[in-house]
Amino acid sequence: MKKWLFRLMIILILPLIWIVHFLITPLHINKADLAIEIEPGSSLKTIAFQLVDEKILNEPWRFIILGKVLGQSRKLRPGNYNLNPNITPYQLLKSFVEGRATEGSITFIEGQDLHSMLEKIKANDSIKKTMKPYDSKAIALAIGIPFESAEGQFFPDTYYFSRNTSDIEILKRAYKAMQKKLNYEWAHRAEEVPYRDSYEALIMASIIEKETGKSIEANLISGVFIHRLSINMKLQSDPTVIYGLGKKFTGDITKKDLMTDTPYNTYTREGLPPGPITMPSLISIRAALHPTKTDALYFVGKGDGTHYFSSNLNEHNNAVRKYQIK
């Protein structure tokens, strides 16, 4: 009797384990197959076979069983869907049931400036263009940004939206996302940071973003700049000079560029520049608010994306000769 009971339990449990494993295992969708359109009137079976045809599923039957077992087979909604590459079958089914359809998307990348963002918006056919002109001051005014410039005020991410969503609406979403992230990080900042407000932290984060492509260095570079400020030394950040030059920058920074005074030139002016110079990542924001305490005052690129840090000018000059002067 006990053997039969044990066998019965195995018979009942194995399919359950099989279904649960399928439910929670990421699909690992290829990047080329991230978009799918579900036609009105499509049945669960039709959708499952469509997912196989589009190489999102390997076979249809487990997805069909999943939909029927969960009682969702008649609740699937039509629309255009953009899928996360690591979405699970359960999340996929849930998206179809909740109608998380989208007809457009745009990705803002950390390190991009406002001009690059706006060019992306202009080139996106799903976005309704309402702003004229596309300039920083006009955008700041339209969105309600309490600064003259809108530079650096948007959080880098992918935003999904319905067709004909306005450019202003998308920018508002990105601005609100940045404010939410920035306010949270500001509330949890290290005690010793010298910024008067979160906007100054955002400015520093934007400089850190442009100074290094290696997230592991971000807090240390932040520490160098904080150290410079603490001894009334100019920040001397090349990216701020380049930003201030705008279209006048030819692609190779020169001594003349470093001495050309603009509001953003941190070689000719003390303290932080008047505003951000790019859209910083969350990593750079956190680095600005949690600098590594360091004696270093200088750093120079080593040619592999990392930097050599020095605590005095003599050591720095030697590093420049080693890594920069060929």
Kindly give, in sequence order, each residue whose CB lies less than 8 Å from that of residue 40, ignoring residues fewer than 6 positions away: 78
CA 28 to the chain's CA centroid: 21
Residues 208 and 266 in one domain: yes
Per the rule left: phi > 0, alpha: psi between -120 and 50, beta: everything else, 180 is: alpha
> For the chain, how many structural domains are there in total?
3
- Which of 143, 165, 183 represents a domain boundary (last residue)? 183
Residues 83 and 113 in one domain: no
- According to the model, what pLDDT value does residue 241 have? 96
Taking CA atoms, 72 is separated from 43, 63, 75, in Å, by 11, 11, 5
Q: Is residue 4 part of a domain?
A: no
Mean pLDDT by 10 residues, the chain (326 residues): 61 68 76 71 90 88 86 80 80 81 80 94 89 85 91 92 84 95 97 96 98 92 97 96 92 91 96 97 98 95 89 92 79
- According to the model, what pLDDT value does residue 2 have? 57
Q: Is residue 158 part of a domain?
A: yes
Residues 151 and 224 in one domain: no
- According to the model, what pLDDT value does residue 139 have? 92
Task: Give the single-character DSSP code of 325.
Answer: -
Residues 35 and 87 in one domain: yes
**Residues 158, 283: contact at Cβ < 8 Å?**
no
**Residues 290, 167: contact at Cβ < 8 Å?**
no
Taking CA atoms, 139 is separated from 65, 114, 169, 201, in Å, by 50, 10, 11, 21
Q: Is residue 60 part of a domain?
A: yes
SS3 144: coil
Helices 282-289 and 167-187 pack at an angle, to 10 degrees, of 30
Residues 195 and 317 in one domain: yes
Instruction: Supply the CATH number for residue 75's domain.
Output: 3.30.1490.480
- Which of 164, 183, 202 represents a domain boundary (last residue)? 183
- Of 182, 275, 293, 318, nearest to 266 (Cα)? 275
Residues 94 and 128 in one domain: no
Residues 205 and 270 in one domain: yes
CA gap 109, 279 in Å, rounded: 8
- Which of 73, 98, 123 represents a domain boundary (last residue)? 98
**Residues 221, 287: contact at Cβ < 8 Å?**
yes
**Residues 24, 92: contact at Cβ < 8 Å?**
no
**Cβ of 262: how many Cβ atoms within 10 Å?**
17
Residues 132 and 55 in one domain: no
Q: State both tokens at 3.
A: 């053997």
CA gap 210, 224 in Å, rounded: 15
**Cβ of 243: how many Cβ atoms within 10 Å?**
24
Residues 313 and 201 in one domain: yes
Residues 126 and 200 in one domain: no
CA gap 314, 317 in Å, rounded: 5
CA 145 to the chain's CA centroid: 20
- According to the model, what pLDDT value does residue 81 have? 79
Question: Structural domain of residue 277, as residue ranges?
Answer: 191-323
Q: Is residue 65 part of a domain?
A: yes
Q: Is residue 244 part of a domain?
A: yes
Q: Is residue 52 part of a domain?
A: yes
Residues 122 and 224 in one domain: no
Residues 312 and 201 in one domain: yes
Q: Is residue 239 part of a domain?
A: yes
Q: State both tokens at 263.
A: 């509001």
Q: Is residue 9 part of a domain?
A: no
Positions of E strands within the chain: 35-38, 79-82, 104-107, 127-128, 158-161, 165-166, 298-301, 307-310
